Amino acid sequence: MAPTSEALTAERILAATEEVLRRHGPAKATVVDVARALGVSHGSVYRHFRTKAALRDAVTKRWLDRTFESLSGIVTAEDLDPEARLRAWFAGLFAAKRRKAGDEPELFATFSVLATENGGAVGSHIADLTGQLTRIVQAGVDAGTFTVSDPATTARALFHATGRFHDPRYAREWEQPGVEGELEAVVDLLLRGLRSRD
């Protein structure tokens, strides 16, 4: 890599790390590699990130933010009723996860590793997603189409019940033929449970 003479910023380190991860995968991507790609000593990288774990976490956060940006738009989509929002949201989440698992396997693997380690970036990602779910459920309650006692608890239940379609541990199953239908069957059942009965 050309040792660019620009200042060494956190952002440049993150970009280089992502590149190294993409090329080598999470198991074989070292801080030394990142430094080499930037044309600096590895000590310099440690000036910006206290540990290798912190660096991985930051890269994953950046990647997650980029990848699931569009989802939050659905939460406030005025042209959709809460039920349609929920359907679109789950469909969008699943589509994005599956696409990334296929298109960027190495970065997805990094995310998976962090997920099993309860990394900070993954923790906030999940908190972010359940927060979005809570807001949709709340909107449904406000509109009178949903009846639930505690939107936040319900949101977590929805998230848990759909784990098979967003938890990276199931990534392999996402390629099998009938999955789309499986997601729909689960979401149908859950939406029936949310609906008001009077």
Partner DNA sequence: GGAATGACAGATTTTGAAATCTGTCAGCTG
Partner DNA sequence: CAGCTGACAGATTTCAAAATCTGTCATTCC
Give the interface size with a second copy as a residue count (CB under 8 A): 22
**Cβ atoms within 10 A of the Cβ of 60, count?**
25
Asked if 115 interacts with a second copy (CB under 8 A), we say no
Bridge partner list, 146: 195
The one segment of 13-21, 75-83, 101-109, 148-156 that binds a second copy by CB under 8 A: 148-156
Q: Determine the longest span between alpha carbons in the chain, in angstroms.
A: 68
Contacted entry of a second copy, DNA, none for residue 22, CB cut-off 5 to 8 Å set by kind? none
Helices (H) then strands (E): counts for the chain: 10, 0
Residue 27 or 185 with smaller CB distance to a second copy: 185
The one segment of 44-52, 63-71, 127-135, 180-188 that binds a second copy by CB under 8 A: 180-188
**DSSP-based three-state secondary structure for 146:** strand
Q: Which one of 25, 120, 156, 180 is in contact with a second copy (CB under 8 A)? A: 156
Asked if 117 interacts with a second copy (CB under 8 A), we say no
Fill in the DSSP letter of residue 30. Answer: -
> Mind giving me the DSSP string for 31-87?
HHHHHHHHTS-HHHHHHH-SSHHHHHHHHHHHHHHHHTTTHHHHHT-TTS-HHHHHH
Contacted entry of DNA, a second copy, none for residue 52, CB cut-off 5 to 8 Å set by kind? DNA
Q: Which residues bind DNA (CB under 7 A)?
A: 7-8, 27-28, 30-33, 40-44, 46-47, 50-53
Tell me how far, at minimum, the Cβ of 28 lies from DNA, in Å: 5
Fill in the DSSP letter of residue 8. Answer: -
Q: At 188, phi and psi to the nearest 5?
A: -55, -50
Contacted entry of a second copy, DNA, none for residue 50, CB cut-off 5 to 8 Å set by kind? DNA
> Applying CB under 8 A, which residues contact a second copy?
153-154, 156-158, 160-164, 169, 182, 185-186, 188-194, 197
